Amino acid sequence: MGQLSGPTDPTADAHWEHQQPRKGFFTDTSICIGCKACEVACKEWNHNPSDGNLELLGSSYDNTGALGANTWRHVAFIEQGQERITEARESGRALVNLGMPGIGPPGAAAPTGPDLAEVDTTPPDTADFRWLMSSDVCKHCTHAGCLDVCPTGALFRTEFGTVVVQDDVCNGCGTCVAGCPFGVIERRSDGTAVVAAQREDQHAEHPAVPNVGVAQKCTLCYDRLVADEAPACAKACPTTSIKFGNHDDMVETARERVAGLHAQGLTEARLYGANELDGVGGTGSVFLLLDEPEVYGLPPDPRVPTADLPQMYRRAGMAVAGMVAAAAVAFLGGRA
């Protein structure tokens, strides 16, 4: 059993002998144009069936809705007015002023960005309207709730530090679905592959929905990584909003980018998942966001549930002792 929480190297924790550097994404939402090429490329490459009934969800240009068994990249669209933009800028500035410690040896944690508390960064051009677009994906957590609670070992940690389901091992118990603090992994149900009527013939030739009844999520294109290829989504992204590479480089790139945006007065920019001291030990997929995480449907303070597992087992042990004691009292307390 590896470490349950805190900073660690997940690949070493999983006892891989021939480790690869940990791979990850840096998704820079500030340059995402919402083209959804990543969503499409992911579906194509992984043969994922369609979701739902092609209905419009009434949420801007997002008719996908959420990550799920069949959607491993999801582009969120958020429309905001000036008031909210100002608020986002304020909340970002508050974050800067918190003086969040950098990562690394405490002494060497020199601030990377300019000290914004003193500079007048009043942006000259607070737009009166903006669209936020963000391509969400599995976080490939350092401490992955889904992997920890999986009873069959279907979910495993790859040599690249990512988290992958073995389709032929998973028995669809669904524990991982509840274990993920980000709502990513889902059990694939049948009957979701609804196809447009006029293309029925064309689709009839396709194989039935694969892997029905088992848990499904982004594999960080494990099949491509082992062939030294970049994941399909990153390759398809036309703006380099999705960057793929070694996790360390990704985090560094993210830090540089957010410092650059801050220097332009865009204090609303912030990183999500770049802190290895957070509740999941840092994520393999790092994001640059322009508002609070919950605006994008991300949890504001996720914590891997297994971090508290030793305490849960202790409490359960006490409860067991209580139950046995009650039974003993019931029998020993003289004949009623």
Partner 1 sequence: MTHSEFDSFRPPEPPRRRRPGGKRGTGRRDSGDGSREMSMVPEPEFTSYYGRPVVKPAPWGDEVAAYLFLGGVAAGSALLGLGGQLTRRPALCRNARLSALTAVSLGAAALVKDLGRPERFLNMLRTIKVTSPMSVGSWILSAFSVGAAVSAAAEIDRISRARLPLGPLRTLLQAAEGPAGFEAAFFAGPLAAYTAVLLGDTATPTWNAAHEELPFVFVSSAALASAGLAMITTPVHEAGPARKLAVLGVVGDVVAMRVMEHRMDPVAAEPLHQGKAGTMLKWSERLAAAGGLGTLQGGGNRAMAAASGLALLAASALTRFGVMEAGLSSARDPRYTIEPQKNRLAARRAAGITGDSITTAR
Residue numbers 226-255 binding ligand SF4 by CB under 6 A: 231-233
User: Which CB, 268 or 278, lies closer to ligand SF4?
Assistant: 278
Q: Say how far apart CA 146 and CA 139 lie, in whole Å.
A: 11
- Main-chain dihedrals φ then ψ at residue 42, nearest 5 degrees: -65, -45
E strands, 82-162, are 129-137, 155-157
Given a contact cutoff of 8 angstroms between Cβ atoms, the answer to whether 285 and 25 are in contact is yes
Q: Which amino acid belongs to residue 81?
A: G
Q: Say how far apart CA 132 and CA 34 lie, in whole Å.
A: 9
Residues paired with 242 in a beta bridge? 27
**By CB under 6 A, residue 102 contacts ligand SF4:** no
User: Which CB, 65 or 113, lies closer to ligand SF4?
Assistant: 65
- Main-chain dihedrals φ then ψ at residue 81, nearest 5 degrees: -95, 180
**By CB under 6 A, residue 217 contacts ligand SF4:** yes
**By CB under 6 A, residue 160 contacts ligand SF4:** no
Q: Find the binder of ligand SF4 among 32, 69, 154, 261 (CB under 6 A).
A: 154
| Binding partner at 72 among ligand SF4, partner 1, none, C-beta below 5 to 8 Å by kind | ligand SF4
User: In the complex, what is the shortest distance from the CB of residue 73 to ligand SF4, in angstroms, rounded to a whole number?
Assistant: 4
Q: Say how far apart CA 245 and CA 230 lie, in whole Å.
A: 8
Given a contact cutoff of 8 angstroms between Cβ atoms, the answer to whether 322 and 314 are in contact is no
**By CB under 6 A, residue 139 contacts ligand SF4:** yes
Q: How many residues bind ligand SF4 (CB under 6 A)?
A: 43
Total length of the chain = 336
| Binding partner at 164 among partner 1, ligand SF4, none, C-beta below 5 to 8 Å by kind | none
List contacts with ligand SF4 (CB under 6 A). 41-42, 45-46, 72-73, 137-141, 144-146, 150-152, 154-155, 163, 165, 170-176, 180, 182, 184-185, 187, 214-215, 217-221, 231-233
